[in-house]
Structure 1
Amino acid sequence: MRILTCSNSCPRWDSDGIAPRSPGGLVPMLVSLLNEHGGHWVFTAPPDLPDVPDEIRLDEDIRLHPVEPGEEMRRQHYDVVSIQLLLGLLHYMHDTSVQPVFDSAMRDAWAGYEAVNQSYAKRLSELSDGSPDELILINDPHLMLVPEFFVESRASVRGRLSYFLGTPWPEPDYFSILPAHLRVRILTSLLHCDVVGFHAARWADAFLACCARYLPDARVDGRSVTHAGHRTDLVATPFPLDVTVLDRMVGEEATQRWRTHLAERAGGRKLMLRADRLDLWKNIPRGFLAYEILLERRPELARQCWFAAVVTTPSRATGRHQEYADLTEEIVRRVNARFAPDGLDAISLIRPGRGGDSRNCVVAGLSMSGAALVNSTFDGLNLFAKEAAYLIGDESSLLLSGNAGAHERLGRFSVTVDPFDLEQTSEAMEAALDGRLGSSDRAARRALLRAESVSRWLNTVFRL
Structure 2
Amino acid sequence: MTPPETAADPRMATGVRLIVCSNSAPRWQDGAGLLPRSPGGLVPLLATLLGEHGGDWVCTMPADGPPGAEPVEVTRLPGDVTLHRLRLPPAVVEQHYEKVGVRVLLWLFHYLLDTPRQPGEGLAEAWAGYEAVNRAYADRVATLLTGSAEEFVLVNDHHLFLVPELLGRRADRRGRVAFFQGLPWCEPEYFGVLPAYIRDRILTGLLGADVVGFHCTRWARAFLACCARYLPGCAVDDGGATYGGHRTRVTVAPFPLDVATVERLRAEPATAEWRTRLDREAGGRRVLVRADRIDLWKNLPRGFAAYRSLLDRDPGLAGEWWFCAVATPPGRPTERTRALQRECEDLVADLNERFGRPGRPAVSLIYPDLATTRNCVVAALSGADLTLVNPTFDGMNLVAKEALYLGERGPLLLSVNAGAYEGLAGHVTPVQPFDVEATASALRDAMTRRTAPEERAAARRLLRDQDATDWLNRMMGAER
Scaled to the shorter chain, the TM-score interval is over 0.9
Partner of residue 201, structure 2: 185
Question: Which amino acid in 2 is paired with 1:13?
Answer: W
Out of 181, 187, 191, the position equivalent to 1:175 is 191
Query: Structure 1: how far apart are the matches of 2:107 and 2:37?
Result: 24
Asked whether 1:110 is paired with 2:127, we answer: yes
- Alpha-carbon offset, residue 25 of structure 1: 2.6
Partner of residue 79, structure 1: 98
Question: Which amino acid in 2 is paired with 1:382?
Answer: N
Query: Structure 1: how far apart are the matches of 2:243 and 2:148?
Result: 24
Partner of residue 157, structure 2: 140
Query: Structure 2: how far apart are the matches of 1:11 and 1:223?
Result: 32
Asked whether 1:203 is paired with 2:222, we answer: no
Query: Structure 2: how far apart are the matches of 1:403 and 1:386?
Result: 15
Query: Structure 2: how far apart are the matches of 1:24 and 1:334?
Result: 34
Checking the alignment, whether the CA contact within 8 Å between 2:138 and 2:163 is kept in structure 1 is: yes
Query: Structure 1: how far apart are the matches of 2:37 and 2:58?
Result: 16
In structure 2, relative to structure 1, the CA distance for the partners of 1:22 and 1:313 (3 Å cut) is farther
Partner of residue 176, structure 2: 160
Partner of residue 12, structure 2: none
Q: Which has the higher contact order (CA 8 A, sep 6+)?
A: 2
SS at match of 1:369: coil
Out of 20, 37, 40, the position equivalent to 2:53 is 37
Alignment of 1:215-226 (within 5 A): 215-226=231-242
Question: Which amino acid in 1 is paired with 2:411?
Answer: S
- Alpha-carbon offset, residue 227 of structure 1: 0.6
- Alpha-carbon offset, residue 278 of structure 1: 0.9
Checking the alignment, whether the CA contact within 8 Å between 1:237 and 1:460 is kept in structure 2 is: yes
SS at match of 1:441: helix
Partner of residue 314, structure 1: 330
SS at match of 1:54: strand
Question: Which amino acid in 2 is paired with 1:386?
Answer: K
Query: Structure 2: how far apart are the matches of 1:309 and 1:41?
Result: 35
Question: Which amino acid in 1 is paired with 2:116?
Answer: S
Partner of residue 431, structure 2: 417
Partner of residue 305, structure 1: 321
Question: Which amino acid in 2 is paired with 1:263?
Answer: D
In structure 2, relative to structure 1, the CA distance for the partners of 1:303 and 1:335 (3 Å cut) is same
Alignment of 1:54-73 (within 5 A): 54-59=73-78, 61-73=80-92
Checking the alignment, whether the CA contact within 8 Å between 1:397 and 1:439 is kept in structure 2 is: no
Alignment of 1:9-24 (within 5 A): 9-15=24-30, 16-20=32-36, 24=40
Residue by residue over 1:149-196, the C-alpha shift from the partner in whole angstroms, topping out at 9 and shown as x without a partner, is 2222x2142111100000100011011011112111100110010100
SS at match of 2:43: helix
RMSD: 1.6
- Alpha-carbon offset, residue 60 of structure 1: 5.1
SS at match of 1:69: coil
- Alpha-carbon offset, residue 81 of structure 1: 0.1
In structure 2, relative to structure 1, the CA distance for the partners of 1:286 and 1:48 (3 Å cut) is farther
Which sits farther off after the overlay, 439-448 or 139-148? 439-448
- Long gaps (5+) in structure 1: none
- Alpha-carbon offset, residue 299 of structure 1: 1.1
Alignment of 1:48-447 (within 5 A): 48-50=64-66, 54-59=73-78, 61-101=80-120, 103=121, 105-152=122-169, 154-355=170-371, 357-393=372-408, 395-435=409-449, 441-447=455-461
Query: Structure 2: how far apart are the matches of 1:48 and 1:283?
Result: 32
Residue by residue over 1:298-340, the C-alpha shift from the partner in whole angstroms, topping out at 9 and shown as x without a partner, is 1111111111121111222111111111111111111111111
Checking the alignment, whether the CA contact within 8 Å between 2:427 and 2:455 is kept in structure 1 is: yes
Query: Structure 1: how far apart are the matches of 2:236 and 2:91?
Result: 39
Query: Structure 1: how far apart are the matches of 2:303 and 2:411?
Result: 16
Query: Structure 1: how far apart are the matches of 2:416 and 2:234?
Result: 31
Question: Which amino acid in 1 is paired with 2:141?
Answer: L
In structure 2, relative to structure 1, the CA distance for the partners of 1:229 and 1:33 (3 Å cut) is same
- Alpha-carbon offset, residue 48 of structure 1: 4.2
Partner of residue 457, structure 1: 471
SS at match of 2:395: coil
Question: Which amino acid in 1 is paired with 2:20?
Answer: T
Residue by residue over 1:204-255, the C-alpha shift from the partner in whole angstroms, topping out at 9 and shown as x without a partner, is 0000101111111111122110111110000011011111221232222111
Residue by residue over 1:14-59, the C-alpha shift from the partner in whole angstroms, topping out at 9 and shown as x without a partner, is 2121114766531111111111111111111223444686101112
Checking the alignment, whether the CA contact within 8 Å between 1:7 and 1:143 is kept in structure 2 is: yes
Checking the alignment, whether the CA contact within 8 Å between 1:5 and 1:41 is kept in structure 2 is: yes
Which sits farther off after the overlay, 431-440 or 200-209? 431-440
Query: Structure 1: how far apart are the matches of 2:267 and 2:133?
Result: 43
Query: Structure 1: how far apart are the matches of 2:322 and 2:237?
Result: 50
Query: Structure 1: how far apart are the matches of 2:139 and 2:195?
Result: 27
- TM-score normalised according to structure 1 size: 0.96
Question: Which amino acid in 1 is paired with 2:60?
Answer: T
Checking the alignment, whether the CA contact within 8 Å between 2:40 and 2:257 is kept in structure 1 is: no
Which sits farther off after the overlay, 28-37 or 247-256? 247-256
In structure 2, relative to structure 1, the CA distance for the partners of 1:100 and 1:23 (3 Å cut) is farther
Residue by residue over 1:349-392, the C-alpha shift from the partner in whole angstroms, topping out at 9 and shown as x without a partner, is 1111321x211111111111001111000000000000111111
Query: Structure 1: how far apart are the matches of 2:391 and 2:146?
Result: 42
Query: Structure 2: how far apart are the matches of 1:440 and 1:275?
Result: 25
Q: Taking every aligned residue pair, what percent have the same amino acid on both sides?
A: 51
